[in-house]
């Protein structure tokens, strides 16, 4: 399978922003020809589906500027650095965005949202045994927090009404776990 692998020839930073860091690399294709790969370097992120004792999911409504819509999402956020433990980041983002502290966290695996153009990994968790701590939003974060019965949210995913992929993925994975 090594015949699929592409080799880096050189790498250039083409944009270093506040959020986005964009690279452009010259590469050698498996057939020896040259090509270019443009992509984003990302520290990684976490997302968490918090489920309370009554079977409600804590969800957020947040305006996502790039898509121009208010989306329903589960809590999520970036790692502070590539070295941060995703579980620490998960506990932090859950508390900061919703105020909730998780008594029990279950790791659901990670995924690549767009492996063609970013190295971002998103680590998924399910949070249970919730207790209330202190909410603490970033200066440029505006988020409404609500609760919705798990089965209602699951129905919305199946109906195609949840457009954020991490939310779709965690709801579908949690459904499998909750069956057991």
Nearer to a second copy, 107 or 131 (CB): 107
Report the distance separating Cα 116 and Cα 125, nearest Å. Answer: 24
Report the distance separating Cα 100 and Cα 96, nearest Å. Answer: 8
Torsion of CA 132, 135, 141, 143, to 10 degrees: 40
Nearer to a second copy, 143 or 148 (CB): 143
Report the distance separating Cα 64 and Cα 76, nearest Å. Answer: 13
Shortest Cβ 76–a second copy spacing (Å): 9
CB 98 within 8 A of CB 144: no
Nearer to a second copy, 129 or 146 (CB): 146
- The H or E element containing residue 158 is helix 150-158
Nearer to a second copy, 129 or 141 (CB): 141
Shortest Cβ 56–a second copy spacing (Å): 20
CB 124 within 8 A of CB 76: no
Shortest Cβ 131–a second copy spacing (Å): 27
Nearer to a second copy, 55 or 109 (CB): 109
Number of neighbours of residue 41 by Cβ within 10 angstroms = 15
Shortest Cβ 3–a second copy spacing (Å): 7
The site for a second copy (CB under 8 A) is made up of: 1, 3-6, 14-15, 17-20, 22, 24-25, 27, 29-31, 33, 35-40, 61-71, 108-122, 139-140, 142-144, 158, 160, 163-165, 168-169, 172-173, 176
Shortest Cβ 30–a second copy spacing (Å): 5
């Amino acid at each position: 399978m090594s015949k699929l692998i592409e080799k880096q020839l050189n790498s250039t930073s083409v944009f270093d922003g506040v959020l986005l860091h964009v690279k452009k690399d010259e590469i050698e294709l498996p057939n020896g020809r040259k090509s270019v790969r443009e992509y984003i370097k990302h520290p990684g992120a976490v997302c968490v589906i918090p489920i309370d004792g009554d079977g409600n999911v804590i969800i957020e409504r947040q305006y996502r500027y790039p898509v121009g819509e208010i989306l329903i999402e589960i809590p999520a956020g970036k790692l502070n650095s590539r070295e941060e433990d995703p579980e620490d980041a998960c506990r932090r983002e859950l508390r900061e965005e919703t105020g909730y502290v998780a008594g029990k966290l279950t790791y659901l695996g990670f995924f690549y949202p767009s492996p063609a153009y970013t190295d971002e990994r998103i680590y998924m968790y399910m949070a249970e045994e919730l207790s209330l701590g202190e909410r603490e939003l970033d200066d440029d974060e505006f988020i409404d927090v609500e609760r919705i019965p798990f089965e209602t949210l699951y129905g919305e995913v199946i109906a195609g009404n949840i457009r954020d992929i991490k939310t779709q993925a965690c709801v579908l994975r949690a459904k499998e776990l909750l069956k057991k």
